[in-house]
């Protein structure tokens, strides 16, 4: 996903630093201080416009959530929603996910969400895929002992690559589905992203 530049984005971010962090290097071990309550902490890596994480936070007030996005234009749109909603269990983070261990303490996160990440299909870009072993190492560090990752993609190549990469890394799989929306068990609790809704409509239409 690529968005046009939003001229108003920087000012909006600077005016709402209580809702969004732009200096995560100061935050390892301190993320709970940004929330109203200390609760299990979950992270979405690559939140886009934030439809998924916003709905998740609304439905689960017993958890705290961080929406992490590298594109200023995208997170500014999410920030607009958060300014209106003022969800006390949702914080935003403008940062690159390649350096998670510099932003979170060991075992600080209870679970992670990877939704429709860039597949980086070319072999020379393998190390940029969010399920490459160097990323998995970082997830292992920031996740608590029984933490988990929820991964969704519409790209078959990335799906197959990720299964192999995660298996080789020694991860345990709880549920695997080739057709999430027709899987009654998994789809019951599924919260679609904006991209997911658009893709599903196109596939069914």
| Residue numbers annotated as active site | 118
CB of 40 within 8 A of CB of 110?
Answer: yes
Q: Crossing angle for the helix pair 133-142 and 156-169, nearest 10 degrees?
A: 60
CB of 106 within 8 A of CB of 142?
Answer: yes
Nearest partner of 83 among 15, 5, 173, judged by Cα: 15
CA distance 63 to 49: 20
Determine the length of the chain.
Answer: 205
User: Taking CA 120 as the corner, what is the angle to CA 190 and CA 10, rounded to the nearest 5 degrees?
Assistant: 75
β-sheet bridge partners, residue 20: 92
């Amino acid at each position: 996903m690529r968005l046009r530049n939003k001229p108003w984005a920087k000012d909006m971010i600077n005016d709402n630093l209580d809702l969004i962090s732009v200096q995560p290097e100061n935050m390892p071990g301190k993320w709970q201080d940004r929330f109203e309550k200390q609760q299990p902490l979950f992270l979405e890596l690559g939140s886009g416009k934030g439809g998924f994480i916003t709905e998740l936070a609304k439905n689960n007030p017993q958890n705290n959530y961080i929406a992490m996005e590298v594109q200023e234009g995208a997170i500014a749109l999410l920030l607009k929603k958060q300014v209106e909603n003022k969800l006390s269990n949702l914080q935003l983070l403008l940062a690159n996910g390649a350096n998670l261990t510099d932003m979170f303490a060991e075992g600080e996160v209870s679970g992670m969400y990877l939704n429709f990440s860039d597949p980086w299909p070319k072999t020379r870009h393998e190390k940029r895929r969010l399920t490459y072993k160097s990323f998995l190492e970082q997830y292992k560090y920031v996740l608590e002992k029984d933490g988990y990752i929820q991964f969704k993609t519409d790209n078959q190549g990335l799906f197959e690559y990720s299964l192999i990469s995660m298996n080789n890394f020694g991860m345990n799989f709880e549920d695997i589905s080739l057709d999430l929306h027709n899987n009654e068990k998994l789809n019951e609790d599924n919260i679609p992203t904006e991209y997911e809704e658009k893709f599903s409509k196109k596939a069914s239409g």
